[in-house]
Amino acid sequence: MIRYLEHKEIDKTKWDTCVENSAQLLPYGFSWFLDIVAEKKWNGLVLNDYEGVMPLPFKKKIGFSFIYQPFFTQQLGVFGKANAEKFIAAIPPKFKHIHTNLNWKNSMVINSPRLKEQTNLVLELDEDFEKIRKNFSENCTRNIKKTEKHFLTLNNCSSKDLISIFKSTRGKEIAHLKKENYAVLQKLIAEFERRKMARVQGVFSKQNELLGGAVIVKYKSRNIFFFSALSEEGKKQGGIFFFLLNLIKELSAKNNLLDFEGSNNAQLARFYRGFGATEQNYTSYTNNRLPLLLKQLKK
């Protein structure tokens, strides 16, 4: 039986054990992760004695409850024993608008306009580096070669510095990312670091200037390219090519998976495919149950 539980009713130890033992190999479903990104405003669906769980982050607007996908949370859906269709059917009717990303293990046999495939690219790293490198595109190989003349180096850096670089570059183009969202991101990275699940590395110029870098979250064999930033000078010097080349080299031949965490953006997807990445897609589910007038406004 699938039960709907409010946040205070959830046994987080059992919940996290279910996520830990699931085949999804994703950190997004852990209670501590959800407490940060949804600011403890999430409930859940639970199968029997936590054989399967589905997080339901929610917000309230104009008197209605909405299920939404929090920032920095690529995939949710059902973790553990999964029949995604039954879990979705068990979402209480009080939630008048639902938008949630399922995960790559949640297969949906129904064909519905409420479902939309989302692109995620991953790179299997069980082979040795030279074999993996042969699958790099010509453009990728050429850009990697260009970085050699800049004598770039990798070293640990502060996530605050990376977020600052991001705000001054790509962040300017993302109007919906507010101050409070960056605070959540900082808190989340700090928690990953506290749990020894993340490393924050920067790309430095010959003059030891921080050009950018990334936060890599490691969960079991999955290494998630969780957050990255690059200054304008970093772009000119090919900083991201240098970073990923060294990351792939380090992780190769160790049964690792590099998860690029995207992307539906065609340009980004082409960039990731340049390293030989392949699709491991997931599905989003949207259901607008609002009254007719509000339903039109929500569109």
Check whether 299 has a pLDDT greater than 70: no
Q: Are residues 294 and 65 in contact, defined by beta-carbon separation less than 8 angstroms?
A: no
AA letter at 253: A
Residues 201 and 77 in one domain: no
Same domain? For 138 and 269 the reply is yes
Token digits of residue 81: 């024993």
> Over 80: is that where the pLDDT of 297 sits?
no
Domain count, the chain: 2
H or E element at residue 227: strand 222-230
171 has pLDDT over 80: yes
Q: What is the DSSP letter of 50?
A: T
Residue 196: partners with Cβ closer than 8 Å, 6 or more residues away: none
**Cβ pair 91, 3 in contact under 8 A:** no
User: Are residue 133 and residue 55 in the same domain, yes or no?
Assistant: no
The CATH number of residue 200's host domain is 3.40.630.30
> What pLDDT does residue 291 have?
82
Indicate the helix (H) or strand (E) that contains 96. strand 95-101
| pLDDT in the model for residue 129 | 98
Does residue 126 sit in the same domain as residue 264? yes
Q: Which two tokens stand for residue 166?
A: 């991001």
Whether residues 140 and 12 share a domain: the answer is no
Whether residue 293 is predicted with pLDDT greater than 80 in this model: the reply is: no
- Domain check: are 134 and 273 in the same one? yes
Residue 217 · residue 174 · CB < 8 Å: no
Average pLDDT in the chain: 96
| pTM, rounded to two decimals | 0.94
Q: What are the pLDDT digits (tens) for 109-133?
A: 767 899 999 999 999 999 999 999 9
Residues near 271 by Cβ (< 8 Å), separated by ≥ 6? none
pLDDT at 263 over 70: yes
Residues 135 and 252 both lie in one domain: yes
Would you say residue 98 has pLDDT above 80?
Answer: yes
User: Is 295 a residue whose pLDDT tops 80?
Assistant: no
Q: How far is CA 174 from CA 163, 169, 183, 214, in A?
A: 13, 10, 16, 18
Residue 12, domain CATH = 3.40.630
Name which residue leads in pLDDT, 158 or 299.
Answer: 158
184 and 96 co-located in one domain: no
What is the structure's pLDDT at 175?
A: 87
What pLDDT score does 81 carry?
A: 86
Examine the domain organization and report whether 269 and 130 are in the same domain: yes
> Alpha-carbon distance 199 to 250, whole Å?
13
pLDDT in tens, 36-94: 999 999 999 999 999 999 999 999 988 899 999 999 999 999 999 879 999 999 999 99
Q: Same structural domain for residues 89 and 154?
A: no
Structure tokens at 52: 């399967």
Q: Are residues 21 and 144 in the same domain?
A: no
In the block, which residue shows the tokens 């897609």? 281
Peptide bond into 263 cis (omega under 30): yes
Share of the chain above pLDDT 90, in %: 92
pLDDT bin (cut points 50, 70, 90) of residue 108 is confident
Q: Domain range holding 110? A: 2-118+282-298
Q: How far apart are CA 202 and CA 23, in angstroms?
A: 32
Residue 144 has pLDDT above 70, yes or no: yes
Confidence of residue 249 (pLDDT cuts 50, 70, 90): very high
Give dist(CA 174, CA 160) in Å, integer: 18
142 and 169 belong to one structural domain: yes
Beta-bridge partner residues of 46 = 3, 53
3-class SS at 105? coil
Who's near 259: CB < 8 A, 6+ residues apart?
120, 122, 222, 223, 224, 225, 280
